[in-house]
Amino acid sequence: MVADILKNIKALIIDMDGVLWRDSQPLGDLKGIFHSIEALGLKYILATNNATRTVDEYHQKLSGFGVTVPEGGIINSAQAVGIYLAEQYPEGANLYVVGQPSLKSTLSQYNLNVVDENEKDVQVVVASMDLSLSYQKLKHASLLIQSGCEFIGTNPDRTLPTPEGLTPGSGTVIGALEIASGRTAKYIGKPEPLLYEMALRRLGVRPEETLAVGDRLETDIIGAHAAGVHTALVLTGASTHEQALAYNPKPEIITQDFTELMSIWTQRKN
């Protein structure tokens, strides 16, 4: 059955945290993995919910592991929020952002104006993981949301897999604002289809000839399934084998890690 799926795959949409690395620790021989992908003639794009780094920073991180990804080969939820809001607000908008400086700089590239707490005219609150989160930021954002601002969450991932264990993620911050304001955020990242749709468009492939590789059932696998993309779960990140077997939709392929997935593929070809 795995062989039947792999036979028709022309492209991969690959998650990064928990698939390629945990924090600064690579998960396997990344150079070798990307070599196998290219040797099999597969197209690929790296698509992450993580909005705490810019796409340029991801290129740098990958090159630190000896991997060079082509221009346009990485997308993140920060870009997806930028595209979404640029369509909603063609004249531009003032945003209050609870998030990392990289999120703010990405949003600024889409004709959006990131403002501070002194600005009274705010249309949108964007919330995400914020390493300098404070009570003051939560309070200001919550009051804006209650006053009627649009409330956007970059991605719902509650935690981030790190060598120390699962640490608070974007969903933790957005969840705090949902509790404080009594309103629910509109999420842009996985499991919403937008990020996968952008990836398919850039790759120029159909969903049924594409395989998503991820480590988290409730974002990577649900999102891919909803977009009609085939699914592979690797067990190096957020979700466990037990959880995967009991999950609906169940990932079509489950491997210990990305290396194992690529060796199954390579052996099948030889």
What gap in Å lies between CA 124 and CA 116, rounded to an integer? Answer: 12
Say which residues have a Cβ less than 8 Å from residue 84's Cβ, sequence separation at least 6.
152, 188, 194
Nearer to Mg ion, 37 or 124 (CB): 37
| Shortest distance in whole angstroms from residue 3 CB to Mg ion | 26
- Contacts with Mg ion: how many residues (CB under 5 A)? 4
Cβ(121)–Cβ(94) below 8 Å: yes
Q: Which of residues 8-37 bind Mg ion (CB under 5 A)?
A: 15, 17-18
User: What is the SS3 assignment for 58?
Assistant: helix
Nearer to Mg ion, 18 or 156 (CB): 18
Name the DSSP class of 208. Answer: G
Q: Across the beta sheet with 124-127, what order do the strands follow? A: 113-114, 94-98, 124-127, 150-153, 186-187
Nearer to Mg ion, 15 or 130 (CB): 15
| Shortest distance in whole angstroms from residue 30 CB to Mg ion | 15
Out of 76, 215, 222, 254, name the contact with Mg ion by CB under 5 A.
Answer: 215
Nearest in space to 81 (alpha carbons), one of 16, 152, 149, 129: 152
252: contact with Mg ion by CB under 5 A: no
Binding mask 167-206 for Mg ion (x = CB under 5 A): ----------------------------------------
Interface residues with Mg ion (CB under 5 A) are: 15, 17-18, 215
